Structure 1
Amino acid sequence: MSSTPSAAPGVPDELQRRLGVPDALMIGLGSMIGAGIFASLAPAAHAAGSGLLLGLALAAVVAYCNATSSARLAALYPASGGTYVYGRERLGEFWGYLAGWAFVVGKTASCVAMALTVGTYLWPGQAHAVAVTAVVALTAVNYAGVHKSALLTRVIVTMVLSVLAAVVVASLTSGTVDTSRLDIGSDATAGGVLQAAGLLFFAFAGYARIATLGEEVRDPARTIPRAIPIALGVTLLVYAAVAVSVLLVLGPHGLAAAEAPLTEAARTAGTDWLVPVVRVGAAVAALGSLLALILGVSRTTLAMARDHHLPHALAAVHPKFKVPHRAELLVGAVVAVAAATTDVRAAIGFSSFGVLAYYAIANASAWTLTPAEGRPARIIPLIGLAGCLVLAFALPLTSALTGAGVLLVGAAAYSIRRTGARQQ
């Protein structure tokens, strides 16, 4: 349908349908183009060398399938909760719970990665201390009910795009460019490319935000399917330009060894004036992502606590600030401890595993849709499901084993809770 039925007289729509394709596109870019690209290139280069470009393309394909499946499910189930809702409604309560659990643990690791990105770029020698400080500060901001606004999102996206463009131009116009560093066949293996794709999947995190706009866009059946591939395509082009330019300057081995690769690329290209700009741009992008992530994880924790999948005490809402303060404090504490004791590459790997598991359940849910329910072409959820599973278990062994172990712990907790409920 090209128009939306009006609300009943005297009863306003819960959300106003005012967003067109350009608006949905900006929201999608704001969700995807952020700090992930500053942090994920180095571990991807370590895994695949110059084959990270193939990994980037593969990650984008899986992301497209995931976003398309999520979009069709969001149109059918507009309630908040994402795959936590889709899995429960299409596959059963356990799969919805497991999706929620995977989201919470995966995005908690994303918080750690973003906090460490702030520290790595701002003060490399004290990255952990800076990361913990950032987590504490933003947890306090969220506790007070201050959230990232749409205007701030646009400002951050503009800043990040400007910094990335400056790095690309500086790298390509420097005298250190060596095209032989793009010889993909020289050091790439199939396993390395798959692992790089799993790690680079982290940089696309957030694309499903477009899929949840069903109640806010004009003609969602037309707008959302258009916005998703455009946003993913633009993001892929930006990331590919950055990856190519950095590879040309640093080479696969130099990129793999860099703690702050974009800063190192600017320094190697001879543009020392750009180094502090990149540092600030990366820190701002990571802080913006961290603020949104802490907000999202605490809200999912709240929803699961209300459904008694997590301790019900976490469902408490602060009487003054109207935020899930116990959930936010718990998330902040866990992220702070992890940021003080782990490294960014481990955090990215663990985060990717959890989020890939989450979207595997989304694709499995989309597979069960009927044509009347808006099912996508069957190949899309099939590729999405297979891609998520393959990339998850192609991640570094420690990340895959730890991620699988945490999911099993979640499944065991669910089983114990269900058994206890039946015995009462």
Structure 2
Amino acid sequence: MTAPPPAQNDPPLGDAPVTEEGLVRVMGTRALSMGIVNMIIGAGIFVLPGLIAELLGPAAIIAYLVCSVAVALVFLCLAEAGSRVSRSGGTYAYIEDAFGPYPGFLASVLLWFGWGILSNAAVAIALVEVVAYAFPAFNSVGPRSVFLIALFAGLGALNIRGVRWGVRFSVVNTYAKLVPLIVLVVFGVFAMDWDNVVITEMPSLASIGAGTLMLVFAFGGGEIALNAGGEVKNPSRTVPLSLLIGIGIVFVTYVAIQGVAQGVLGPELAVNLEAPLIATAERAFGPWGRTFMLVGAGISILGVTSGHVLNHPRAVFAAARDGLLPSKLAAVHPRFRTPHYSILFCVTITCAIALTGAFRTLAIVSSGSLLLLYLGCSLAVLRLRQLDRTPKPGTFVIPGGWTVPIASSLVVLWLLSNMSATEATGLAGLLVVASGVYLALKRGR
């Protein structure tokens, strides 16, 4: 991902206010809004339109709206928690400071494994599906397995050698993911059959819940942009306004993409589950559209995968450094100065899961992990307020007292209730195993 661009109305550094931690408040509404947009729009939107259409048909817009509101509520909670907790660690640091080491450990596992590893495995599967759309041989187990092993071996080796290439590639990835989506929406609208987007019947609440739960996979990631909260100008105004603008842009973009795909393919969208946008571009523009979207989707999804391999081992490294995981994972390569054991650990597990998993299941379970983190952070706001009744100047406080944290918690619980028994069991099993590891580590100290 690219760094958020500076706002045009930002003052020079010499005139900008400085926080107690020494950070300069120079990030304005435009910068934070675009940071949120860039962190959210990723691989999910290239795959999910078909799955959402399968559940909701033309009524998919309802799930996008519900998910946008839910994410906005959660992000407000994350913004306040982040302004109250100054140390690194993000969501797991907020939960640990609010509730103690055991919930913090569970949060760290949900962050690096439940969301990081599982979502990256799902993204890798999506990449294989894109490749298989162009080269059907990759639908077979053998070529598929070779591709995934080579993918993670290559990304792991490159990341061990250094991070500079990954940072440069993120710039390419930003354009690669946005250009084909913009072209599809702007020109695809002329190939739409508008009868295909008419909502003829309202879906059930259960279907809306299931669709919204799946969309969490496509809306996750924006919380990373809020980690720069200490560098935001006038946070009490900038944060909520940026959230409204950023999530509004994502909502409009996603609905436009879903609408064009639905309008072009109609009922066929619900059966194009592996590469729905490629099928849409092929129908709308012909062979060149298919090639254009194939290349764009492939580069974009590869970029997201490489971003995961770049970032999530650092979460494992941080957890090991804090004593939450074996100390070996906190080792740094003597030559390349990278967390090589954490990288090897992450790519090995991710590859193994991608070889045996399915996109839909992994997307939902990883979304469930992220939702548990969101729930913990929403509740953490209430606890942090109790622990810090007189926050330091500049702390962002959500207007409305307890209303937003409570509403956020209730919405997240409703979304979690839409998981199937199998998915919920898998998520619960992860927490049980993590609890066992925590007890073992605690006894070993």
When the two structures are superposed, what TM-score results if normalisation uses the length of structure 1? 0.89
User: Residue 328 of structure 1 corresponds to which residue in structure 2?
Assistant: 343
Distance 1:349 1:171 in 2: 29
Q: After TM superposition, give the deviation of residue 166 of structure 1 in Å.
A: 1.8
RMSD of aligned alpha carbons: 2.4
The reply to whether residue 364 of structure 1 matches residue 379 of structure 2 is: yes
Q: After TM superposition, give the deviation of residue 311 of structure 1 in Å.
A: 1.7
The reply to whether residue 213 of structure 1 matches residue 228 of structure 2 is: yes
Q: After TM superposition, give the deviation of residue 367 of structure 1 in Å.
A: 2.2
The reply to whether residue 134 of structure 1 matches residue 134 of structure 2 is: no
- Equivalent of 2:368, from 343, 353, 361? 353
Q: After TM superposition, give the deviation of residue 30 of structure 1 in Å.
A: 1.5
What secondary structure is seen at the aligned counterpart in 2 of 1:5? coil
| Contact in 2 for aligned 1:77/1:86 (Cα 8 Å) | yes
Distance 2:263 2:177 in 1: 21
What are the within-5 Å matches in structure 2 for residues 220-369 of structure 1?
220-252=235-267, 254-369=269-384
Distance 1:140 1:82, change over 3 A: same
The reply to whether residue 94 of structure 1 matches residue 106 of structure 2 is: no
The reply to whether residue 4 of structure 1 matches residue 17 of structure 2 is: yes
Residue identity in the other structure for 1:183? I
State how many pairs are aligned.
Answer: 413
| Contact in 2 for aligned 1:369/1:375 (Cα 8 Å) | no
User: Residue 415 of structure 2 corresponds to which residue in structure 1?
Assistant: 391
Q: After TM superposition, give the deviation of residue 72 of structure 1 in Å.
A: 0.9
What secondary structure is seen at the aligned counterpart in 1 of 2:86? coil
Residue deviations 1:329-371 (CA, integer Å, cap 9, x gap): 0100111112222222222112111111111111110122436
What secondary structure is seen at the aligned counterpart in 1 of 2:124? helix
Distance 1:26 1:147, change over 3 A: farther
The reply to whether residue 412 of structure 1 matches residue 428 of structure 2 is: no
Distance 2:19 2:253 in 1: 39
| Contact in 1 for aligned 2:42/2:300 (Cα 8 Å) | yes
What are the within-5 Å matches in structure 2 for residues 161-240 of structure 1?
161-174=178-191, 177-183=193-199, 185=201, 188-240=203-255
Q: Which runs of 5 or more residues in structure 2 are unaligned? A: 1-14
What secondary structure is seen at the aligned counterpart in 1 of 2:89? coil
| Contact in 1 for aligned 2:131/2:298 (Cα 8 Å) | yes
Distance 1:385 1:415 in 2: 28
- Equivalent of 1:43, from 51, 65, 79? 51
Q: After TM superposition, give the deviation of residue 298 of structure 1 in Å.
A: 0.8
Residue identity in the other structure for 1:412? G
Q: After TM superposition, give the deviation of residue 212 of structure 1 in Å.
A: 0.5
Q: After TM superposition, give the deviation of residue 68 of structure 1 in Å.
A: 1.1
Distance 1:40 1:404, change over 3 A: farther
Q: After TM superposition, give the deviation of residue 17 of structure 1 in Å.
A: 4.3
| Contact in 1 for aligned 2:18/2:25 (Cα 8 Å) | no
| Contact in 1 for aligned 2:185/2:260 (Cα 8 Å) | yes
Residue identity in the other structure for 2:54? H
| Contact in 2 for aligned 1:46/1:253 (Cα 8 Å) | no
The reply to whether residue 158 of structure 1 matches residue 175 of structure 2 is: yes
**Higher mean C-alpha deviation, range 330-339 or range 377-386:** 377-386
Residue identity in the other structure for 2:223? A
When the two structures are superposed, what TM-score results if normalisation uses the length of structure 2? 0.85
**Higher mean C-alpha deviation, range 205-214 or range 162-171:** 162-171
Distance 2:422 2:51 in 1: 14
User: Residue 108 of structure 1 corresponds to which residue in structure 2?
Assistant: 117
Distance 1:232 1:193 in 2: 19
Q: After TM superposition, give the deviation of residue 276 of structure 1 in Å.
A: 1.2
- Equivalent of 1:82, from 76, 90, 93? 90
Residue identity in the other structure for 1:251? G
Q: After TM superposition, give the deviation of residue 390 of structure 1 in Å.
A: 2.0
User: Residue 163 of structure 2 corresponds to which residue in structure 1?
Assistant: 146
Identity level (%): 25
- Equivalent of 2:126, from 117, 122, 125? 117
The reply to whether residue 67 of structure 1 matches residue 75 of structure 2 is: yes
Residue deviations 1:189-209 (CA, integer Å, cap 9, x gap): 211110110111111111102
Residue deviations 1:373-412 (CA, integer Å, cap 9, x gap): 3442322222222222221231344322212221222123
Residue identity in the other structure for 2:247? L
Q: After TM superposition, give the deviation of residue 78 of structure 1 in Å.
A: 2.5
User: Residue 10 of structure 1 corresponds to which residue in structure 2?
Assistant: none
